[in-house]
């Protein structure tokens, strides 16, 4: 890869991270909405008499909710993809830095040779 191609690639990876951060936030909002809905149902359920019953009911309702575990899986996949791109971004930044240093070194050697 050429030195001049790195800034564009780095910007592309940063944009992907931004989009994944947004997707994480969206998935978390959906999960919180599901949890809030279930918590509201539990709060108004007169048959649940103590915290143990409420906790058990909450777990059961979360397990039985049609979208809860699907959203959890989506969130996990987005976070894994985010981590992969984050690692790649770090690699590309480091490669870019090394290439710049190598170019500077080559220029310095040329200047030293022409001065002698």
Residue 115 has pLDDT above 90, yes or no: no
Digit-coded pLDDT (tens) for 54-75: 999 999 999 999 899 999 999 9
Distance CA 58, CA 54 (A): 6
Angle separating helix axes 68-115 and 51-64, nearest 10 degrees: 70
Output 40 or 116, whichever has higher pLDDT.
40
Here the tokens at position 105 are 């070194």
What are the structural domain ranges in the chain?
3-115
Per-residue pLDDT, 116: 76
DSSP state letter for 50: S
In angstroms, what CA-CA distances link 18 with 13, 24, 25, 78, 99?
9, 10, 11, 12, 26
User: What is the pTM (predicted TM-score) of this model?
Assistant: 0.82
């Amino acid at each position: 890869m050429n030195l001049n191609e790195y800034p564009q690639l780095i910007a592309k990876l940063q944009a992907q991270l931004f989009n994944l951060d947004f997707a994480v936030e969206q998935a978390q909002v959906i999960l919180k909405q599901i949890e809030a809905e279930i918590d509201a149902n539990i709060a108004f359920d007169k048959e649940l008499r103590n915290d143990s019953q409420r906790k058990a009911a909450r777990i059961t309702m979360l397990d039985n909710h049609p979208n809860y575990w699907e959203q959890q899986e989506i969130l996990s996949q987005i976070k894994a993809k985010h981590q992969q791109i984050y690692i790649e971004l770090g690699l590309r930044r480091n490669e870019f830095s090394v290439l710049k240093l190598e170019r500077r070194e080559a220029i310095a050697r040329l200047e030293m040779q022409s001065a002698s």
